[in-house]
A = this chain, B = another copy of it.
Amino acid sequence: MSKSLTHVRIVGAGLIGTSIALALRSQGVKVSLFDSDSRAQSLARDLIGDQSEGDLLIEDLCIVATPPDAISAVIAAEVSRNPSLRVMDISSIKTKPLLEVSALGFDKRFFAPTHPMAGREVSGPESARGDLFQGRPWILCLDGVDPELADMTGEVISLCGAVALNRSVEEHDRAVALVSHLPQIVASLLAAQLSDGQGSDLELAGAGLRDTTRIADSDSELWSQILAGNSSALRPLLINLQKDLSRAIEHLEDPAVMGQLIADGRRGRAMIPGKHGGQARNYTYLAIVIDDKPGQLAAIIEACAAAQVNIEDLAIEHTPGQQTGLITLAFSPEDATIVSSHLEKEGWKVHPSR
Verify if A220 is at the interface (C-beta below 8 Å from B). yes
C-alpha spacing A205/B270, complex, angstroms: 12
> Does B261 lie within 8 Å of A188, measured CB to CB?
yes
Proximity string of chain A (209-230) to chain B, C-beta cutoff 8 Å, 1 when within and 0 when not: 1111111111111011101100
> Does B174 lie within 8 Å of A277, measured CB to CB?
no
> Does B248 lie within 8 Å of A189, measured CB to CB?
yes
From B225, B271, B287, contact of A129 by CB (8 A):
B287
From B126, B178, B231, B261, contact of A253 by CB (8 A):
B231
Q: Which residue of B lies closest to A329 (CB)?
A: B297
Could you pull out 26 A-B pairs where Cβ atoms are within 8 angstroms? A129-B287, A175-B198, A176-B204, A186-B189, A187-B208, A189-B241, A191-B264, A192-B268, A193-B241, A193-B244, A193-B268, A194-B271, A202-B271, A205-B272, A213-B272, A220-B259, A220-B260, A228-B252, A228-B253, A235-B252, A238-B249, A294-B304, A298-B301, A301-B301, A302-B302, A311-B316
> Does B194 lie within 8 Å of A127, measured CB to CB?
no
Known: A192-B268, A227-B258. 9 other contacts (CB 8 A): A135-B323, A135-B324, A187-B212, A210-B272, A216-B265, A242-B242, A276-B322, A298-B298, A301-B302
Verify if A183 is at the interface (C-beta below 8 Å from B). yes
User: Which B residues lie within 8 Å of A224 (CB)?
Assistant: 255-256, 258-259, 262
Verify if A206 is at the interface (C-beta below 8 Å from B). yes
Distance (Å) between the CB of A20 and the closest chain B CB?
15
> Does A197 lie within 8 Å of B178, measured CB to CB?
yes
Proximity string of chain A (332-353) to chain B, C-beta cutoff 8 Å, 1 when within and 0 when not: 0000000000000000010101
Q: Which residue of B lies closest to A172 (CB)?
A: B204
Verify if A46 is at the interface (C-beta below 8 Å from B). no
C-alpha spacing A206/B121, complex, angstroms: 13
With A254-B228, A354-B127: A305-B313 Cβ-Cβ less than 8 Å: no
Verify if A83 is at the interface (C-beta below 8 Å from B). no
User: Which B residues lie within 8 Å of A351 (CB)?
Assistant: 129, 131
> Does A193 lie within 8 Å of B178, measured CB to CB?
yes
Verify if A122 is at the interface (C-beta below 8 Å from B). yes
